[in-house]
Amino acid sequence: MSDTAVTPSTETFDQFGLAPDILKAIVEQGYTTPTPIQAQAIPVVLSGRDVMGAAQTGTGKTASFSLPIIQRLLQHASTSASPARHPVRALILTPTRELADQVAANVHAYAKHTALRSAVVFGGVDMNPQSEQLRRGVEILIATPGRLLDHVQQKTANLGQVQMLVLDEADRMLDMGFLPDLQRILNLLPKERQTLLFSATFSGEIKKLAATYLRNPQTIEVARSNSTATNVTQTVYEVAEGDKTGAVVQLIRERGLKQVIVFCNSKIGASRLARSLERDGVVATAIHGDRTQNERMQALDAFKRGEIEALVATDVAARGLDIVELPAVINFDLPFNAEDYVHRIGRTGRAGASGDALSLCSPNERKQLADIEKLIKRPLDVQRLTVDVPVRHHHEERSPRREREGREGREERGSGRRRASSGSGAGGSSFERPHHHRQAPVDDFFSKPYEPSPSSRKADEVADVPVNKVASKQPLAALLGGFGMPVRKSTSS
Ligand code: AMP
């Protein structure tokens, strides 16, 4: 990795010419130094030029586009109550609800001292409050593609005055099959606009998308690397498939991990592992595409509050999660796509902190391990792990079904969008329980098999993965990202 990837920028936010109201919000966020992507992207976005930015979540990329967007829109800020004075001028598209929510929280914080309004729309929740907010008018709209199109169809969102568009995590949007939705949305936007495309990887597909929709973009790369953050210690443990649950319990206990994300390749695998961990006294819950939006948000909040020790996640559900100071991630399964490994372990060791990436590798995952080593261009430290934690219900992890699901049940290739919740939320779920180890799960979600809903549009709209639209992954071109995040100063407010 080059020095530039770890050397904090010496610039300050003052030199971008941002308005005092924005600078005040930055100070309140505790940011003192722009991250490398911010140092490079902010002036270019301010100049009005299109950008093709190579950056992963965790590099500070949200502020790198949000701050200059807010600055550029300030001339239109209006305190008028009239919706006509608050058309959508900036549209930020993200692949997942979690990322949309995080981006929206950031935009809201950065614009809080201005009269600019922002809103977020994503599927899986009631459309009405979103419609209400859109009717009152917002200048900055953050959206997942499917729900945005629903609002367009219902005429609650008008995109005719959008002058700035952000495609955030564009590679993941394509991976998830959103290209047709993106094309529909792009066709609704004015041709005269500024387009910013952010992507962790620049595959051929991404380049094609950029060539079609961007005009003479400035390419911004903070650090070219297919490698992983240097502050993350990576260890691979060779274990038998049937010992993996015991291995997770053992690693959590031996290392005293209080907060860990455990990655599984399938939704069913994630549910099953969470259930097994609970039986072994680890406070765990699963987040994946079959859980309602409310359940996912509640799980995430409970995890952030420290009430859940192990968040068992699939790649789609975990995409874009920003959990500050996450000490470790465990790969229960090695991902089928090596690129996902880099995304997964990027959940730890953020903002300059150190982290551990612990991966379990069974004999039938050696190919995946080789692919990862090829991608990151170095061998990983492989150790043998003797599992001596007795695990109850062990046989579940050995069931032949698991083998099948490992291949077929992968969420991104999965059977499509999540079933619609009938507004049940996560009431009575395990997230609300007091923080102590329990012996039995109370969330009956874990004992229910996965049932895809009748394929209605309504059901479709709650998920991020469109049915029948899942594009095959392109070979990886490059994984780019900056890991030189300055340490965030704590704020008193
Ligand atoms: P992002 O890559 O946009 O998801 O940002 C990752 C995390 O870094 C978020 O928690 C941001 O609030 C934080 N962050 C963004 N910019 C800075 C900065 N200049 N200094 C410190 N933290 C930052």
Atom index in ligand 1 nearest the CA of residue 35 equals: 19
Q: Within a domain: residue 363?
A: yes
| Together in a domain, 57 and 187 | yes
Greatest mean pLDDT range, 152-156, 221-225, 299-303, 346-350: 152-156
Task: Report if residue 13 sits inside a domain.
Answer: yes
pLDDT score for 295: 79
pLDDT band, residue 205 (cuts 50/70/90): confident
Q: Cα torsion at 159, 163, 168, 171 (round to 10°)?
A: 80
Q: Are residue 174 and residue 267 in the same domain, yes or no?
A: no
Q: Are residues 106 and 200 in the same domain?
A: yes
- 58 CA to centre of ligand 1 in angstroms: 6
Per-residue pLDDT tens for 418-447? 222 222 222 222 222 223 332 322 222 222
Instruction: Identify the domain boundary among 174, 197, 221.
Output: 221
Query: How does pLDDT run across 338-382, given as a tens digit for each residue?
Result: 888 887 887 776 555 678 899 999 999 999 999 999 888 889 989
Domain assignment present for 452:
no
Q: What is the pLDDT of residue 322?
A: 61
> Does residue 417 carry a pLDDT above 90?
no
Residue 453 lies in a domain: no
Question: Are residues 386 and 348 located together in one domain of the fold?
Answer: yes
Indicate whether 208 and 293 sit together in one domain: no
Distance CA 23, CA 19 (A): 6
- What pLDDT does 55 receive? 81
Q: List, in sequence order, every residue forming a beta bridge with 356; answer none if it has no partner.
A: 233, 328
* Best CA proximity match to 103, nearest among 115, 90, 113, 114: 90
- Residue 29 Cα: closest atom of ligand 1: 12
Q: How far is CA 480 from the centre of its chain?
A: 16
Centre of ligand 1 from the C-alpha of residue 60, in Å? 4
| Top mutation candidate among 33, 37, 322, 347 for ligand 1, by most atoms within 8 Å of CB | 322
Residue whose CA is at the smallest distance from ligand 1 atom 13: 60
174 inside domain: yes
Domain co-membership, 96 together with 149: yes
For the CA atoms of 328, 329, 331, 334, what is the dihedral angle to 10 degrees? -110
* Ligand 1 atom with minimal separation from the 13 CA: 19
Atom of ligand 1 nearest to the CA of 62: 3
Alpha helices in 190-347 (DSSP H): 204-213, 244-254, 267-279, 293-304, 315-318, 338-345
Beta bridge partners of 167: 93, 197
Domain that holds residue 213: 3-221
Write down the pLDDT at residue 282: 94
Question: Does residue 339 sit in the same domain as residue 198?
Answer: no
Q: Are residues 113 and 213 in the same domain?
A: yes
> What's the pLDDT at 214?
96
On whether residue 427 sits in a domain, the answer given is no
158 lies in some domain = yes
Q: Which atom of ligand 1 is nearest to the CA of 34?
A: 19
**Ligand 1 pocket, Cβ-based, cut-off 6 angstroms:** 31, 33-35, 38, 57-63, 322, 351, 486, 488
How many domains are there within the chain?
2
**Residue where a domain terminates, one of 221, 245, 264:** 221
Task: Say yes or no: 150 and 246 in one domain.
Answer: no
Residue 115 alpha carbon to ligand 1 centre in Å: 23
Which is more confidently placed, 464 or 181?
A: 181
Atom of ligand 1 nearest to the CA of 324: 10
What's the gap in Å between 415 CA and the centre of ligand 1? 34
**DSSP-derived secondary structure for 39-57:** HHHHHHHHTT--EEEE--T
The pLDDT score that the predictor gives to residue 351 is 52
CA distance 65 to 401: 45
Contact present, 78 and 53 (Cβ < 8 Å): no
* Same domain, residue pair 166 and 276: no
The per-residue pLDDT for range 161-172, each reduced to its tens digit, is: 999 999 999 988
Tell me how far the alpha carbon of residue 64 lies from the centroid of ligand 1, in angstroms: 9
**pLDDT at residue 406 greater than cutoff 90:** no
Q: What is the CATH number of the domain that holds 149?
A: 3.40.50.300
Report, as an integer, the average pLDDT of 313-320: 75
Residue nearest to atom 5 of ligand 1 (CA): 60
Q: How far is the CA of 41 from the centre of ligand 1 (A)?
A: 14
- Claim to verify: residue 275 and residue 172 sit in the same structural domain: no
- Picking from 390, 409, 437, the residue at the C-terminal end of a domain is 390
For residue 461, what pLDDT is reported?
Answer: 29
163 and 237 share one domain:
no
Q: Is residue 131 part of a domain?
A: yes
- pLDDT bracket for residue 42 (50, 70, 90): very high
By CB neighbour count within 10 A (0-12 exposed, 13-18 middle, 19+ buried), where does 492 fall?
exposed
Average the pLDDT over 228-249 and give the result. Answer: 87
Q: For a ligand 1 pocket test, name from 12, 29, 198 the mutation site with the most ligand atoms within 8 angstroms of its C-beta.
A: 29
